Amino acid sequence: MKICIECGKEVAELYDGLCRECYIKSHTFTDLPRRIYLTTCPKCGRVRYKNSWREESIDNAIRKAIKNSLTVAPELEGHSISLSCRVKGKSVYICTISITGTFKGLEITEEKITEIIVKKELCRSCSRKAGHYFEAILQIRGDRRVPTDKEMNEIIDEIKENMNNLKKQGKEIFITKIVPTRGGVDIYISDRGFTKKMVQTLHNKLGGTIKTTSKQSGMKDGRTQYRMTYLLRLPYYRKGDFVSKGEKLLYVKSIERRKVQLVDMDSWERKVIDDKMMDELKMVGDYSILKEAVVVSQSENEAQILDPYTFATVDVKKPHQIKLEKTIKIVKWKDRIYLFPYQDL
């Protein structure tokens, strides 16, 4: 048996010369600073963790700050933590923390009180937004035409969707401003690398041409900084347009990765060509030139339809042996009527 140097009790085991009870009375198992500092952005509410900013509620941020600052002795086994906080003023929280665990079979509970001081500081993203920061301009223009509002809105929506996906990964990129111009729109973006990838993505999807220019914007860490301008000039044609080559009428079915899928309106046959070859074709019209016509009668290879312009009955060749509905979409070009393959396009 061993003797406790504090109370003189004989015990089987001592801890720093003390029995279990005396050791517990004279020993603190936990430690917590009297003040803990948190930094939040007054604009977006993000919380700063070292060199990064995260979206988090102030309650969760306080819990994490306390957990990261609290020291618990290894001999306090199976410990659990509970806390309650009250607000003191605009930026101070008084928190009471209760830590419960066991030491050599005895339950121990210790209570700590700390002040959480919340400091306000603009995060990097909000600071840049406030300063109208941008690294690149994405210019949207059209070849021999002005892009439609629908096209420009779809492009802006796609840019925002990509930004939101990156935001979920912790990377904040934003549109500084959108400036409509006579020929299209200029989109000012905070990140040069993102803008470069975005213009390539749009180019693959929509076709057209890209032109890149740069302008010196200053120095950083001894290196020259540049602002980039990426001009995406959309092609003269769009998905759903009708174009021609000589006497042949073609429908633009799809545009993807600089390849254009065309449908021959005479045979309904499809072919894929490089977008550069589209320069050899001429614009006929967009989807609005389609008209609805009544099918009067039909055989395997022909249909008699009512010309929606003259109301005369006209014989039209069927490219495929299919049964037509009572009405069908048609295109009239150079006094000839073409059946639109509505079931497949």
Distance from C-alpha of 3 to C-alpha of 6, rounded to nearest angstrom: 9
Domain match, 226 and 149 both: yes
Domain match, 165 and 127 both: no
Q: Give the pLDDT confidence of 234-284 residue by residue, as tens digits.
A: 999 999 999 999 999 999 999 887 889 999 999 999 999 998 899 899 999
What is the CB neighbour count within 10 angstroms for residue 219?
9
Question: What residues form DSSP beta bridges with 229?
Answer: 137, 213
Task: End-to-end CA distance of the chain: give it in Å, rounded.
Answer: 94
User: What pLDDT score does 234 carry?
Assistant: 94
Domain boundary among 131, 162, 194: 131
Say whether pLDDT at 343 is over 70: no
Domain match, 138 and 230 both: yes
Distance from C-alpha of 320 to C-alpha of 182, rounded to nearest angstrom: 45
Domain match, 38 and 113 both: yes
Token pair 């959480």 is found at 116
Is residue 198 a part of any domain in this protein? yes
Domain match, 81 and 139 both: no
Q: Tell me how far the alpha carbon of residue 107 is from its chain's centroid.
A: 50
Distance from C-alpha of 202 to C-alpha of 8, rounded to nearest angstrom: 83
Q: Which domain holds residue 304?
A: 290-345
Domain match, 155 and 230 both: yes
- 3 state DSSP class of 334: coil
The arrangement of strands across the sheet holding 47-49 comes to: 52-54, 47-49, 35-40, 106-120, 92-103, 77-88
Is residue 240 a part of any domain in this protein? no
Is residue 301 a part of any domain in this protein? yes
User: What pLDDT score does 344 carry?
Assistant: 57
* Number of domains comprising the chain: 4
Domain boundary among 116, 131, 146: 131
- 3 state DSSP class of 152: helix
Is residue 274 a part of any domain in this protein? no
Domain match, 5 and 95 both: no
- Mean pLDDT score across all residues of the chain: 90
Domain match, 38 and 3 both: no
Domain match, 17 and 63 both: no
Q: DSSP label at 276?
A: G
- Beta-carbon contacts of residue 282 (< 8 Å; ≥ 6 apart): 243, 244, 245
Among 276, 246, 244, which residue's Cα sits nearest to residue 258?
276
Domain match, 67 and 11 both: no
Tokens of 323: 């049964």
Say whether pLDDT at 28 is over 90: no
- Beta-carbon contacts of residue 320 (< 8 Å; ≥ 6 apart): 268, 341
User: What pLDDT score does 221 carry?
Assistant: 67
Q: Give the pLDDT confidence of 213-242 residue by residue, as tens digits.
A: 998 877 676 677 789 999 999 999 999 999
Domain match, 295 and 340 both: yes
Domain boundary among 131, 150, 167: 131
Contact between residue 47 and residue 53 where contact means Cβ atoms under 8 Å apart: yes
Is residue 65 a part of any domain in this protein? yes
Is residue 244 a part of any domain in this protein? no
For 121-138, b/e burial (b = at least 16 CB within 10 A) is ebbbbbebbeeeebbbbb
User: What pLDDT score does 183 carry?
Assistant: 92
Contact between residue 217 and residue 225 where contact means Cβ atoms under 8 Å apart: yes
Domain match, 125 and 60 both: yes
Model confidence pTM above 0.75? no
Contact between residue 206 and residue 168 where contact means Cβ atoms under 8 Å apart: no
Is residue 269 a part of any domain in this protein? no
Is residue 338 a part of any domain in this protein? yes
Q: Give the pLDDT confidence of 125-145 residue by residue, as tens digits.
A: 899 999 999 999 999 999 989
Say whether pLDDT at 94 is over 90: yes
We report the CATH number of the domain holding residue 104 as 2.60.40
